[in-house]
Structure 1
C-alpha cells in the first residue's frame, strides 16, 4: 500500500479518506453505466446492475442515517430513480454520508447496526469502505471492467474482510458464500471477491 492508505488497521485510524476514495471510484463506474445496461447481470447472485445500484444507494443512505442518529434507521428500498438518475442518486447519498460523519468525535461513538454495536470508525471501515470496494468489483465486472481500479483500496478492504468475515463465519445469517480459491497471481479485487464467496 502506498502512503495515501491509512495504516495500520487499528482503533486510531480514520477511514474517512479511504471511504472518499472508494466512493469516488464507484461513482465513476455508476456514471459509466451505458444506456440500456441496467438489466445486465452482476457477480452478486440475483442482482442485475439496476438492483446493485439500488443496493449501493440504499446502503449509503443507511450509513448516513447511522452517522446522523447512531442507528441504522434509513432502510427504505430505493424507488423512483429514473434510468438516467443513478449517478445523481449515488452522489446525493454519499454527500449526505460525508456530512453526517464530518465530526471527528463520531468516530469513537458506538453505533448500532444489524450485526452488532461498534465504534463509528469500525462501521466506516467495514460497512463503508469494505462494502463499497466489494461492490465496485461487482459493478466493474458487470460493465466489462471499463476503468482501472485502485488496488490499495482492495488490499485494505481485504484485510478488513479477513478480520470481520473469517472463513469459518459463513452459513445461516451471514450473507456471504464460503471462501473460494482465487487464481494464482490474482489482483486484490479478485482475491477480495473470492474471500467474500464470489465466483471468480
Structure 2
C-alpha cells in the first residue's frame, strides 16, 4: 500500500471515477437503496457532492461556514453534471496548494487536522461511496485499485475499531469475507457488509 502518496495526485482520479459512475445512473434508479443505509442513490450522490464542494472550499482557503452540507435540490437528470463540476473544482483547488500548505492546520468543523490529512479523508470518502454506488447499481466497472489501497491504509491509521459512534460517522468494523477485494475490505472497515468477490476487479 502506498501510504505516502500525495493526496493532491488522487483528487482527479477519485472524483473522476465517481463522476463516471454517476453518469450511468438512470433517473428511475435514484430511489434505490445503497449499502450506506442512511442513503438512497439520490441522497448518496447529494452527500458526496456536498462533501466534495466542502473540501474544495477549504482547499481554496474558505471556512467551514462555507460548507454546503448534503445537497438535495438537483434535478434528477443533472446529478452527473453537478458532480463533475464539483470534482473539477476540488481538483483545481488541490492543484493550487503548495507543498507547504499540506502542513497547514485546517478546521473541518468536526476536527482540526493538516490539509494533507483532510485531502486524504475526502479521497477515502469518495472511494468508499463509489463502492456504495457500484453495489447499489449492481454493475461491474473496474475501479482504481490504488485509490482503494490508499484509502484503506488511511482508514486503518485514523479510524481504528475503537473510534466508532458519534461524532465518527461510521458503524463498527464488519468482517471482510474471504475473497473480498480492496474496496470490499475498505467498505467492511467502515461498517458495510461487504460480499466476497466484488465484481469488476
Shift of 1:33: 0.6
Q: How does 1:85-164 map to 2 (within 5 A)?
A: 85-105=78-98, 106-126=101-121, 128-164=122-158
Q: Which residue of 1 aligns with 2:77?
A: 84
Secondary structure in 2 matching 1:156: helix
How many angstroms apart in 2 are the aligned matches of 1:172 and 1:66?
23
Shift of 1:77: 4.0
Shift of 1:100: 2.1
How many angstroms apart in 1 are the aligned matches of 2:13 and 2:127?
10
Q: Which residue of 2 aligns with 1:18?
A: 10
Q: Which residue of 1 aligns with 2:199?
A: none
Contact 1:151 1:187 in 2 (8 A): no
The two structures, once aligned, show a CA RMSD in angstroms of 1.6
Structure 2, unaligned runs of 5 or more: 195-201
Secondary structure in 1 matching 2:28: coil
Contact 2:10 2:123 in 1 (8 A): yes
How many angstroms apart in 2 are the aligned matches of 1:190 and 1:124?
22
Alignment partner of 1:170 out of 164, 173, 183: 164
How many angstroms apart in 2 are the aligned matches of 1:23 and 1:31?
12
Query: TM-score under structure 2 normalisation?
Result: 0.89
Deviations 1:100-158 (A, max 9, x none): 222232322221113322221111111x2100101010000011023111222111100
**How many residue pairs are counted as aligned between the two chains?**
191
Structure 1, unaligned runs of 5 or more: 2-6
Deviations 1:68-127 (A, max 9, x none): 22522223442431111001100111122122222232322221113322221111111x
Q: Which residue of 2 aligns with 1:4?
A: none
